[in-house]
Amino acid sequence: MSKDRLSTYRGKRDTGASGEPAGHRRRGHREAIFVVQRHDASSLHFDFRLEVDGVLASWAVPKGPSLDPRDKRLAVQVEDHPLDYADFEGRIGEGYGEGTVIVWDTGTFDNVTERKGEPVDLADAIDAGHVKVALHGEKLTGAFALTHTRMGGDEKNWMLVKVDDDGADRRRKPTSTQNESVLSGRTNEDL
Ligand code: MN
């Protein structure tokens, strides 16, 4: 991709004032990472981000990811974020995204998207609206499917669903019982 994938990110915020990373696109030289940030903004949500082509493709998930394969969670695609956003925790001041952010879960992931039995590059999978990733986090493990549903006619609307595998759990509800950061142990309220 030749266009600056972070231009929307930069246009929406004054990173000097907000304390968020300014973002310098860089190449990954290791396994791809995912991060789920708990963002207590005008409304509480979980930001689900996947490293792709040196940035973090991002979705805001109002109810957060579920480990129960029966749950379909709305995931609203938002602007790509810089890779160094992945370990950002703090308080965003007045303006876009005002509120507190913690790293609720993070780890590496494998892109396991297939089409007709063949592996699909992650950027292509996002473009096509069908993504499957196997997460290796602390709270989230196993495969999750992201599908571009355009529900309600909104181009930004996707759905996040747990694939029924060893990481699935119909009882454990980490989004309500494990509110602390996996990096610092802090909660949003601590910030
Ligand atoms: Mn957010």
pLDDT in tens, 71-109: 999 999 999 999 999 999 999 988 899 999 999 999 999
Give the HSE-up count for residue 86: Cα atoms under 13 Å, Cβ half-sphere.
21
Ligand 1 centre and the CA of 172: distance in Å?
Answer: 24
Task: Decide if 62 contacts 157 (C-beta within 8 A).
Answer: no
Say yes or no to pLDDT of 29 above 80: no
Averaged pLDDT score across all residues of the chain: 94
Per domain, the residue ranges of the chain are 3-10+28-190
pLDDT of residue 15: 87
Query: What is this structure's pTM?
Result: 0.93
Task: Decide if 32 contacts 52 (C-beta within 8 A).
Answer: yes
Ligand 1 centre and the CA of 126: distance in Å?
Answer: 19
Q: Which of 4-18, 35-49, 114-128 has the lowest mean pLDDT?
A: 4-18
Ligand 1 centre and the CA of 74: distance in Å?
Answer: 14
pLDDT of residue 1: 42
pLDDT tens track for 138-173: 999 999 999 999 999 999 999 999 999 999 999 999
Q: Are strands 55-61 and 114-115 parallel, antiparallel or unpaired?
A: unpaired
Ligand 1 centre and the CA of 101: distance in Å?
Answer: 8
Mean pLDDT of 66-70: 98
Ligand 1 centre and the CA of 43: distance in Å?
Answer: 9
pLDDT of residue 122: 98
Token duo for residue 176: 């309500």
Q: Please list all protein residues whose beta carbon sits less than 5 angstroms from ligand 1, which is an ion.
A: 39, 47
Ligand 1 centre and the CA of 158: distance in Å?
Answer: 15
